[in-house]
């Protein structure tokens, strides 16, 4: 990473890296499928070069086999596809349609499938709704200044600051509990 990377550039890089990671699951899966189909006698030797656990690679290949290129949804991650890979074709399509249309996370998709399988009524997992609190304007102005001074986007600054404060309080509480035990 460049030493003077701005927050925005750092954030963009993270998004790009996440895209590469998701794509690499498909690439490795497709690579393994090809190897199994074309080099069955040397397949095990070939997969050692990937340097990943055998079970991880098997999962990549299994999901890749279950989803031909034309069925893969660009708006969804490899993990979304993995969640439905064991289902029949029609169910896969139905769940992927829902996940794409409703912009579900992998966890929301998993929970929706689990609810149906456990006989619970089909409800749409709700995305997390932002919460609002009333604050005096002068505090928000001060926080904006602090975020700007830190070189961090305001929303991110608020989250980081609150998480840091919560971590300190929880750690302090754990230390007191440990000392009194």
Using one digit for the tens of pLDDT, what is the confidence trace for 82-118? Answer: 999 999 999 999 999 999 999 999 999 999 998 888 7
- The mean pLDDT value of the chain amounts to 82
Enter the pTM of the model. Answer: 0.59
pLDDT of residue 71: 94
Would you say residue 127 has pLDDT above 60? no
pLDDT of residue 128: 57
Q: How confident is the model at residue 47 (pLDDT cuts 50, 70, 90)?
A: confident
Q: How confident is the model at residue 171 (pLDDT cuts 50, 70, 90)?
A: confident
Give the whole-number percent of the chain exceeding pLDDT 70: 87
Average pLDDT over residues 146-155: 74
End-to-end CA distance of the chain: 44
Residue burial 126-149, b: 16+ Cβ < 10 Å; e: rest: eeeeeeeeeeeeeeeeeeeeebee
Contact 99, 80 (CB under 8 A): yes
* Three state DSSP letters for 44-87: HHHHHCCCCCHHHHHHHHHHHHHCCHHHCCCCCCHHHHHHHCCC
pLDDT of residue 123: 53
What Å distances lie between residue 22 and 1, 19, 54, 58, 158, CA to CA?
A: 21, 5, 18, 16, 29
pLDDT of residue 124: 52
- List of residues 6+ apart from 113 with CB closer than 8 A: 83, 84, 95
pLDDT of residue 5: 80
């Amino acid at each position: 990473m460049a030493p003077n990377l701005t927050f925005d550039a750092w954030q963009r890089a993270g998004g790009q890296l996440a895209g590469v990671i998701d794509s690499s699951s498909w690439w490795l899966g497709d690579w393994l499928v090809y190897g199994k189909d074309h080099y069955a006698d040397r397949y095990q030797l070939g997969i050692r070069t990937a340097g990943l656990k055998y079970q991880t690679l098997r999962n990549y290949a299994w999901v890749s086999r279950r989803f031909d290129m034309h069925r893969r949804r660009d708006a969804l991650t490899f993990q979304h596809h993995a969640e439905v890979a064991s289902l029949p074709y029609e169910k896969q399509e139905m769940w992927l349609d829902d996940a794409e249309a409703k912009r579900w996370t992998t966890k929301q998709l998993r929970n929706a499938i689990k609810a149906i399988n456990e006989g619970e009524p089909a409800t749409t997992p709700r995305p997390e709704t932002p919460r609002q609190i009333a604050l005096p304007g002068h505090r928000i102005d001060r926080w904006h200044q602090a975020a700007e001074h830190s070189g961090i986007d305001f929303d991110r600054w608020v989250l980081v600051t609150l998480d840091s404060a919560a971590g300190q309080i929880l750690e302090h509480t754990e230390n007191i509990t440990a000392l009194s035990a």
